[in-house]
């Protein structure tokens, strides 16, 4: 029988499995799942083609059915042409744009809604820069649970249309995801609905572990030298980092953990600034602006963990201009045929800059995550 506890990522305070927790009641930092049952064996990976293939490594019991829309199992596409553009030896794109509702957010929300349903919460609410709202709307519908989404009015139109198409309540707010976050927290408090905001609960991170588990399996349990991840709230990076760590502890791979490279936009780069200043926490970015909507997160709750993930993997972080993001997004599409999101373009632009500046060895083998689909940004 699989068992786990919830452990505060900062002070270590522990709560039992499926406790009705948001943030740590002692220090206000996020909880992470810690498995207390014996280490899962990779021979027990399931013969199914979605992220629940990795159920042995995820917080789900054998007698539970996941809330699943076929998320994960995304292509890992090697492109020698794009490697030449970036100036590295080998480059793969992990294309997350083909997920349900067209972004990697499907991974985390599938895992979080699965646990929320098991706990029998009355409804689900999320603040979003767009894609998390679309994913929650879909998984809420799949679970038969009511959903309310708070999104900035400036969210790309196709994403708002997807949220509405799922028949859930959509509230648009003036401002950014931080403003939407205040509204959702208030609503969650008065309604008793479960707040699935990034890192306010521990299970979205668990779903995002499959970004790394799947990559490892696709590379026959070898790992690249570096992974580049466009970063907003940080759940993607934190999930990957946790999975790389667990895979080593569980004996699934003996490959070195890849350097984690965080890509941000110059108009909203709190993690890049904190790393440069040698800080443990990021200070909120004033007046965040970028057309890569998923990166418009001025005050990420996971700042401490993202900074640790970068430092402990000898990774890096850099920001690029809106113009570079546009150029690189077009470049990915025209060179590979992958309909990249601007966030993916941001990743390519950062990678290219780091190689040019001598911060990343040109002999590296690199995986670039294209976290969403270009189609979500065309109106």
Q: Is there binding between residue 343 and ligand PLP (CB under 6 A)?
A: yes
Q: Which two tokens stand for residue 124?
A: 């689900």
State which of residues 103, 195, 210, 264 lies at the interface with ligand PLP (CB under 6 A).
Answer: 103
The minimum distance between CB 329 and ligand PLP, in angstroms, equals 11
State which of residues 290, 331, 371, 374 lies at the interface with ligand PLP (CB under 6 A).
Answer: 371
Q: Which two tokens stand for residue 226?
A: 């570096």
The minimum distance between CB 140 and ligand PLP, in angstroms, equals 17
State which of residues 234, 258, 270, 288 lies at the interface with ligand PLP (CB under 6 A).
Answer: 234
Cα–Cα dist 15/24, whole Å: 9
Question: Tokens 């799942």 belong to which residue?
Answer: 33
Q: Is there binding between residue 105 and ligand PLP (CB under 6 A)?
A: yes
Q: Is there binding between residue 198 and ligand PLP (CB under 6 A)?
A: yes
State which of residues 235, 246, 316, 353 lies at the interface with ligand PLP (CB under 6 A).
Answer: 235
Point out which span in 16-24, 84-92, 111-119, 224-232 binds ligand PLP (CB under 6 A).
Answer: 224-232
The minimum distance between CB 358 and ligand PLP, in angstroms, equals 26
State which of residues 29, 74, 114, 131 lies at the interface with ligand PLP (CB under 6 A).
Answer: 131
Cα–Cα dist 271/106, whole Å: 24
Nearest Cα to Cα of residue 51 among 216, 218, 207:
207
Cα–Cα dist 164/134, whole Å: 9
Number of residues that bind ligand PLP (CB under 6 A): 16
Cα–Cα dist 234/228, whole Å: 13
Contact between residue 280 and residue 305 where contact means Cβ atoms under 8 Å apart: no
The residue (of 2 and 318) whose beta carbon lies closer to ligand PLP is 318
State which of residues 156, 202, 230, 374 lies at the interface with ligand PLP (CB under 6 A).
Answer: 230
Q: Which two tokens stand for residue 355?
A: 């190689």
Q: Which two tokens stand for residue 362?
A: 């040109």
Among positions 269-308, residues that touch ligand PLP (CB under 6 A) are 294
Q: For residue 101, what is the DSSP state?
A: G
**Residues 283, 287, 292, 294, CA torsion sign:** positive
Which residues have a Cβ under 8 Å from the Cβ of 12 and sit 6 or more positions away?
A: none
Q: 340: which strand partners?
A: 373
Q: Is there binding between residue 233 and ligand PLP (CB under 6 A)?
A: yes
The minimum distance between CB 302 and ligand PLP, in angstroms, equals 8
Q: Is there binding between residue 347 and ligand PLP (CB under 6 A)?
A: no
The residue (of 40 and 309) whose beta carbon lies closer to ligand PLP is 309
Query: How many residues belong to the chain?
Result: 379
Point out which span in 46-54, 119-127, 140-148, 233-241 binds ligand PLP (CB under 6 A).
Answer: 233-241
Cα–Cα dist 99/69, whole Å: 9
Cα–Cα dist 39/47, whole Å: 20
Q: For residue 23, what is the DSSP state?
A: S
Residues found near ligand PLP in the complex (CB under 6 A): 103, 105, 131, 198, 230-236, 294, 341, 343, 371-372
């Amino acid at each position: 029988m699989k068992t786990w506890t919830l452990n505060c990522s900062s002070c270590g305070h522990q709560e039992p499995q499926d406790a009705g927790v948001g943030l740590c009641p002692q220090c206000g930092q996020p909880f992470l799942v810690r498995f207390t049952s014996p280490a899962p064996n990779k021979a027990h990976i399931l013969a199914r083609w979605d992220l629940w293939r990795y159920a042995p490594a995820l917080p789900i019991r054998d007698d539970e059915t996941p809330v699943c829309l076929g998320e994960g199992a995304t292509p890992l596409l090697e492109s020698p042409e794009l490697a030449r553009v970036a100036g590295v030896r080998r480059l793969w794109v992990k294309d997350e744009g083909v997920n349900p509702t067209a972004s990697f957010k499907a991974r985390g929300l599938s895992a979080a809604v699965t646990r929320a349903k098991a706990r029998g919460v009355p409804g689900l609410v999320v603040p979003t820069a767009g894609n998390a709202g679309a994913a929650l709307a879909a998984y809420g519908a799949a679970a038969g649970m009511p959903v309310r989404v708070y999104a900035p009015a400036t969210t790309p139109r196709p994403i708002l249309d997807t949220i509405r198409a799922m028949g859930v309540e959509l509230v648009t707010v003036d401002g950014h995801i931080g403003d939407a976050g205040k509204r959702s927290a208030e609503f969650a408090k008065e309604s008793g609905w479960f707040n699935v905001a990034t890192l306010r609960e521990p299970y979205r991170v668990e779903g995002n572990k499959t970004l790394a588990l799947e990559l490892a399996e696709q590379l026959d349990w070898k790992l690249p030298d570096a992974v580049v991840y466009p970063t907003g709230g940080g759940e993607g990076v934190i999930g990957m980092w946790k999975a790389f760590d667990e895979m080593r502890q569980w004996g699934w791979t003996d490959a070195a953990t890849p350097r984690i490279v965080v890509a941000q936009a110059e108009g909203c780069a709190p993690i890049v600034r904190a790393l440069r200043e040698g800080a443990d926490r990021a200070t909120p970015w004033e007046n965040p602006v970028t057309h890569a909507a998923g990166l418009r997160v001025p005050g990420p709750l996971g700042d401490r963990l993202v900074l640790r993930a970068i430092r402990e993997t000898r990774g890096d972080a850099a920001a690029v201009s809106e113009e570079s993001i546009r150029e690189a997004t077009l470049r990915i599409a025209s060179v590979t045929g992958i309909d990249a999101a601007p966030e993916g373009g941001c990743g390519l632009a950062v990678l290219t800059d780091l190689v040019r500046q001598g911060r990343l060895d040109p002999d590296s083998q690199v995986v670039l995550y294209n976290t969403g689909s270009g189609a979500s940004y065309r109106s």
